[in-house]
Structure 1
Amino acid sequence: MRLSYVDNPPNFTNEDDKATLERVKARRGEKGLLPLDLALLHAPKVADGWNSLLGAIRGKTSLPDNIREIAICRPALINQAWFEWKHHAPLLQDSESFKASPDKFETVQQLHPTSAGSLDKREWATLRYADAMTRDVKVSQSLFDEVKALFSEQEVVEITTTVASYNLVSRFLVALDVGEMNDQAPEFTSQVTNPTSTDDRIQS
C-alpha cells in the first residue's frame, strides 16, 4: 500500500476507537481484519461510518445475492479494483442463479458487453445501470425506466446505493493500492484499459 497499515491488532488507547475496532472485528468475523480495515483504521471515525454503511449494503438489503454482487462487481471491473474483484467475483459465481448457469459470468467479466448472454432481464438491467452510474454518473431516462419496471422502489434505492458505495470502495482501494493488487489484474482482463483517466491532463 502507498501508506503503512496500522498494527494488527491496532494499539488504540481511546475508548471510542476501541469500540470502533470491536464493531469492525464483529462484522469481519473469523476471517479477521482485512488490509482494507487496516488502512481505514488510520481514521477510526471514518472506519466506523464505513463499517456501518457497508455492513448495511452487504447484509441488510432485500436484494438477492446475484443482483447485489453484479452491482458490486461491475464498479470493481471498470475501476480496475482487483482487491474488490477478488473478494466479490467468487460470491457472484456462488449465487444460486450463477451456479445454475455458470456461463452468465462470462458476460459480467466483459468490459463492454453488448448483449445479455445468459443473464436474465433483472441481471442485465442491473449490469447496465451499474455501468452507467460508474462510467457516466448520469443514467438515461430509458435505462432508469427499465430498471424501475423490474424492481420495487426499495430495490432501486438498494441497487443504487450498492453501486455508489462500491464506487467509493473501489476508488479508495485503487488510490492507495490497498492489498497491493493494482498490478495483479486477472488474466481475462488483459483487454481492460481506462481510457477516461485524466491523471496527466488535469491541471487544476
Structure 2
Amino acid sequence: MVPVRLRKLVPSELDEDQREVYEAIAGGDRSRGPQLFPLAQADGSLNGPYGVMLHAPRVGGPLQELGAALRFRTSLSDRIREIVILLVADRLGSEFQWWAHERIALATGLARQEIDAIRTDEFVGADEAESTAYALATDLLRGETLGDEDYARAVAVLGEQQLVELSVLVGYYRMLAQTMALFDVGVPED
C-alpha cells in the first residue's frame, strides 16, 4: 500500500531538494546488493517511509542518512540490528517495517523460528549479546528506566558504543513506525 494520506511523488514531479533525497535513497546504500524488498513502485514512487520523507526533504534527507548509518555503518551485528528492528515493528504494529525487515532478517541468518519468537516474546538470542540487546530494546520500548546494575551488565556485554547505537536504532525505527502510522503507510500492493 502506498501512502493513503499523502500524495505519492513520482520522480518527474520532484523539486531539487526532493530529488536529492530521492537519489540518496534510490541510489545510495539501500540500492546496493540484493534487493530484498522494492524501494519503489513501478512508477518510481518510493515505498514505506521513504515516500513520506520526500514531502519534507529538509527533514527527510537527514532522516534517511541516519537510517543508512544505522543499517550500514554501526558496530552492531546484522542479526542484532534486525532482531531489534523486528521487535520495534512488532510492538508498534508497523506492517511495512515487519514486511521489509523480515526479509532482511532471513537474509542475515535469522531462522524462521527465531523471527516467530520475536512476535510471541519468546526470543532467545544465539549468544549473550543478542539476548542483552533484545532485553534492552524491550525495556526501551516499554519506557522502562534501566537500573545501574542492568546498565553495567549491558555495558559489559555490548560496550558503550553499541549501547548508544542500539538506543538510537530503537528510537529511529519507533519514529518511522509512528510516521507511517500517521500517514497510513502499509505494505506495497505488489
TM range (shorter): 0.7 to 0.9
- Structure-2 residue corresponding to 1:11: 13
- 1:77 equivalent to 2:90? Answer yes
Question: Which structure would you say has the larger Rg?
Answer: 1
Percent of aligned positions with the same letter in both sequences?
Answer: 24
SS at match of 2:154: helix
Deviation for aligned residue 1:118 = 5.8
Deviation for aligned residue 1:11 = 1.1
Moved more, 118-127 or 50-59: 118-127
- In the alignment, the residues of structure 2 paired with residue 128 and residue 117 of structure 1 have an alpha-carbon distance, to the nearest angstrom, of 10
Matched AA of 1:103:
Q
Q: Which has the higher contact order (CA 8 A, sep 6+)?
A: 2
Matched AA of 2:5:
L
- Structure-1 residue corresponding to 2:104: 91
Contact 2:49 2:179 in 1 (8 A): no
Structure 1 counterpart of 2:117, from 107, 124, 133: 107
Matched AA of 2:72:
G
* Runs of 5+ unmatched residues, structure 1: 182-204
Q: Residues 84 and 169 (structure 1 numbering): CA distance in 2 closer, same or farther, change over 3 Å?
A: same
Structure 1 counterpart of 2:154, from 144, 147, 154: 147
Moved more, 3-12 or 62-71: 3-12
Matched AA of 2:17:
D
Q: Could you give the per-residue CA deviations for residues 30-52 of structure 1, whole angstroms, max 9, x where no partner exists? A: 74332422222111111111111
* Runs of 5+ unmatched residues, structure 2: 41-45
SS at match of 1:151: helix
RMSD: 2.3
- Structure-1 residue corresponding to 2:175: 168
- Structure-1 residue corresponding to 2:22: 21
Contact 2:48 2:180 in 1 (8 A): no
